[in-house]
């Protein structure tokens, strides 16, 4: 008999890679480089390298765990299975709050490139609601949309790199100018902010219940999508930093459009804006899918309200979780800005991966695909990057984490009283 509360395995390797690429490239290129340049100055490339190393360590942990536990929920499930219910809950709640902030950041990024002045927040909310509707009608539509968006975005980014190279305006001194005024602390803070741009591969793991041959497909998709994203990021970071310099890059609201304009390719301005909008939509589309499925897994275990565990009988998606997310993100868009959303998101996601590394370290030899030292380095990296985030992001993250812990503690206490 078919379980009507289960998801369907409809995604192949290319689908999973597209969802991972759509999540990462949209988040990083058009949202994180400017605040990272403000923190690190010419040390931006060092920050990018640190973020990439930590991301790789975390990716190997996620890939190894996903192969053993091919179900929805990602590290929420891995933490429960390997470490216990409370660490699993901590990971799941960190993911939900971090990626809810990411949804708001991507909605605001989209609106920054397409909305008339004064209409940014309303346009951002509209994008969230429309993409929640796309997800509502099935994960194969999500994957198909992600493929189209990835092709558009990579084409536009290639155009920007060519414009920068053809302009002759680049200055290699901008790449080797030393650390910014904040020194190594600024570099580490930039790495924490740029980690936001690499975290999209988590969406592949959280959709483990919908991937065909998950033990083989998920690890491959995670590593491939992360590697391709890093190549794109390095090319764009070098082009933007060399052409604009760290100060101008930090102050720019649309740095890639400015890179193309300096190169004398003013006609590319509208194209770059279309690419930025498409990238943000691709990330937002995959984010809604990933957070909805983690919410589904948590609701199945009563760590979120049970009614969020519903799966649509026809479209086989966690429709209540995704619609609830859309409402919460819409409210968040009204009360936050882009930089605040990025810092808050990095706080939650880095804590999520801290649990992933610890859980992967605990796996037995039968399920081990990568050496344990990678998980040790990954866990240490997560702690260091969290500690160097802007203090506002840390403070806000701690408050929301405590709200989640209080909610679960009260629920468990009520449940104990009912059984006594």
- Token pair, residue 1, equals 């008999």
Query: Phi, psi (5° rounding) for residue 314?
Result: -100, -50
- Token pair, residue 384, equals 């260091």
- Report the sign of the C-alpha dihedral through residues 51, 54, 59, 62, in that order: negative
Say what the pTM is.
0.81
327-330: Cβ within 8 A, 24+ apart:
328/100, 329/100, 329/103, 329/104, 329/107, 329/128, 330/125, 330/128, 330/129
How confident is the model over 206-263, as pLDDT tens digits?
A: 666 677 777 778 788 888 888 898 898 999 888 888 888 888 888 887 788 788 777 6
Check residue 116 and report its DSSP letter: P
Among 198, 197, 200, 192, smallest CA distance to 287 is for 200
Give the confidence band of 372 by pLDDT, cuts at 50, 70, 90.
very high
pLDDT above 70 for 264: no
pLDDT above 90 for 191: yes
Q: What is the mean pLDDT of residues 140-168?
A: 77
Report yes or no: 240 and 42 within 8 Å, Cβ to Cβ.
Answer: no
Of 2-16, 214-228, 368-382, the least confident: 2-16
- Token pair, residue 210, equals 């919908």
Give the confidence band of 6 by pLDDT, cuts at 50, 70, 90.
low
Which domains does the chain possess?
13-412 (1.20.1740.10)
How confident is the model over 16-52, as pLDDT tens digits?
A: 888 778 777 765 677 788 888 888 888 899 999 999 9
pLDDT above 70 for 315: no
Mean pLDDT rounded to a whole number for the chain = 83
| Higher pLDDT, residue 187 or 202 | 187
Share of the chain above pLDDT 90, in %: 25
Whole-number pLDDT of residue 77: 86
Report yes or no: 239 and 170 within 8 Å, Cβ to Cβ.
Answer: yes
Q: Taking the CB of residue 233, how many other CB atoms lie within 10 A of it?
A: 23
d(CA 59, CA 71): 17
Report yes or no: 27 and 199 within 8 Å, Cβ to Cβ.
Answer: yes
Q: What is the mean pLDDT of residues 64-86?
A: 85
- Token pair, residue 261, equals 């304009």
Whole-number pLDDT of residue 1: 40
CA distances from 290 to 23, 168, 394 (A): 10, 42, 23
Whole-number pLDDT of residue 400: 92
């Amino acid at each position: 008999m078919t379980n009507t509360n289960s998801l369907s395995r409809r995604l192949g390797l290319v689908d999973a890679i597209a969802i991972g690429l759509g999540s990462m490239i949209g988040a990083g290129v058009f949202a994180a480089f400017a605040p990272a340049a403000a923190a690190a100055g010419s040390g931006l490339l060092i920050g990018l390298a640190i973020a990439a190393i930590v991301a790789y360590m975390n990716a190997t942990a996620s890939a190894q765990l996903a192969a053993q536990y091919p179900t929805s929920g990602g590290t929420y499930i891995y933490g429960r299975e390997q470490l216990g219910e409370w660490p699993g809950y901590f990971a799941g709640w960190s993911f939900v709050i971090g990626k809810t902030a990411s949804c708001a950041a991507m909605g605001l990024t989209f609106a920054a490139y397409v909305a008339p002045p004064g209409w940014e927040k309303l346009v951002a909310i509209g994008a969230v609601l429309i993409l929640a509707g796309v997800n509502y009608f099935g994960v194969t539509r999500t994957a198909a949309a992600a493929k189209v968006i990835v092709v558009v975005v990579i084409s536009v980014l290639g155009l920007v790199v060519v414009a920068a190279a053809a302009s002759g305006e680049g200055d290699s001194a901008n790449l080797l100018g030393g650390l910014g005024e904040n020194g190594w602390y600024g570099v580490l803070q930039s790495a924490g902010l740029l980690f936001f741009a690499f975290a999209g591969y988590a969406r592949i793991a959280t959709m483990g219940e919908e991937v065909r041959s998950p033990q083989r497909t998920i690890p491959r998709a995670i590593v491939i999508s992360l590697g391709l994203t890093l190549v794109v990021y390095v090319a764009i970071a070098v082009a933007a930093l060399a052409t604009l310099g760290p100060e101008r890059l930090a102050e720019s609201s649309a740095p890639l459009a400015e890179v193309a304009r300096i190169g004398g390719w003013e006609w590319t301005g509208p194209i770059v804006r279309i690419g930025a909008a498409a990238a943000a939509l691709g990330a937002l589309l995959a984010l809604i899918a990933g957070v909805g499925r983690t919410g589904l897994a948590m609701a199945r275990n009563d760590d979120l309200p049970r009614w969020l565990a519903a799966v649509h009988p026809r479209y086989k998606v966690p429709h209540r979780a995704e619609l609830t997310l859309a409402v919460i993100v819409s409210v968040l868009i009204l009360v936050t800005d882009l930089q605040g959303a990025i810092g808050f998101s990095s706080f939650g996601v880095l804590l999520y991966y801290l649990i992933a590394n610890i859980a992967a370290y605990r796996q037995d030899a039968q399920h081990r695909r990568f050496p344990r030292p990678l998980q040790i380095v990954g866990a240490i990296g997560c702690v260091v990057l969290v500690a160097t985030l802007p203090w506002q992001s840390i403070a806000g993250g701690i408050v929301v984490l405590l709200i989640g812990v209080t909610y679960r503690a009260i629920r468990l206490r009520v449940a104990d009283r009912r059984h006594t």
